[in-house]
Structure 1
Amino acid sequence: MKINLSGHHVDVTDTVKQHVEEKFTKLASHFPTLISLNVIIAKEHGEFDVEVSTNYEGSRIAANGKDAVMYPAIASAAKKLDAALKHRKGHLKADKHAKPEVTAPEIAYEKVQEMDLR
């Protein structure tokens, strides 16, 4: 998986790159069709804002994490992206047109027949 990392008013050092790769390589094992991530780390008004976006199975998915410290902001964005990807994967796996078989009326009918209502 390719990670495009950029900073806005933030120096992107090797340590930051390594931390971002550690957080987001776990996603690559859970979602093998994930090709690339765009990560933007910005600092505005004393708060770090980490924005992560990607295209997954035909739809654009983005997540955002904010914190006063950079590393928790990265972790927050990674967690939110993981949840969004799981949600999208669930939508893709669900067969929305298959109707569940309803057995409740038949069972209820059988129960009523067994009861002595006299």
Structure 2
Amino acid sequence: MKIKLSGHHVDITDPVKQYVEEKFSKIASHFPTLISLDIIVAKEHGEYEVEIRTNYEGSKISASGSDTIMYPALSKAAKKLDAALSHRKGHLKGKLHEKPTCTTPEIAHEIIQGMDLTN
């Protein structure tokens, strides 16, 4: 999985990159069709805000987290992203198990119900 990490008023250092790689390796193993993540870390008004965007199975998914410390903000955003991806995966899997629909016309059904089959 490709991770594009950028900072807005924040320097992205090697330990931060390593932390992000560790944090999102679990998500990459749970969702192997996930190709890339765009992560933006911003610091505004003394608070870190993390926004994550991705495309998963044809839909755009985003998650965000904020905290006064960068690492908990990354963790919150990762947790929200995992929940959103699980929700989307559930929608996709749920459509595979829809109830079968009746293929016979309703009129034929009514005719059979009205027939006297006791003879």
TM-score (norm 1): 0.81
CA deviation after TM superposition for structure 1 residue 96, in Å: 7.5
Residues in 1 aligned to 2:9 and 2:95: alpha-carbon distance in whole angstroms: 45
- Alpha-carbon displacement from aligned partner over 1:44-84 (angstroms, at most 9, x marks no partner): 00000000010000000000000000000000000000000
2:42 partner SS: strand
2:37 partner SS: strand
Counterpart of 1:108 in structure 2 is: none
2:7 partner SS: strand
1:94 partner SS: helix
2:95 partner SS: coil
Deviation beyond 3 Å, 4+ runs, structure 1 = none
1:95 partner SS: helix
RMSD between aligned residues: 1.4
Counterpart of 1:65 in structure 2 is: 65
Identical-residue share of aligned pairs (%): 73
Q: Structure 1 unaligned runs (5+)?
A: 101-118
2:12 partner SS: coil
Pairs aligned (count): 100
The alignment status of 1:49 with 2:42, answered yes or no, reads: no
Residues in 2 aligned to 1:96 and 1:36: alpha-carbon distance in whole angstroms: 26
Counterpart of 2:104 in structure 1 is: none
The amino acid that maps onto 1:94 is G
The amino acid that maps onto 1:55 is N
Counterpart of 1:14 in structure 2 is: 14
Counterpart of 1:5 in structure 2 is: 5
1:48 partner SS: strand
Residues in 2 aligned to 1:2 and 1:44: alpha-carbon distance in whole angstroms: 26
Q: Structure 2 unaligned runs (5+)?
A: 101-119
CA deviation after TM superposition for structure 1 residue 98, in Å: 2.7
The amino acid that maps onto 1:44 is E
Residues in 1 aligned to 2:97 and 2:75: alpha-carbon distance in whole angstroms: 37
CA deviation after TM superposition for structure 1 residue 97, in Å: 7.7
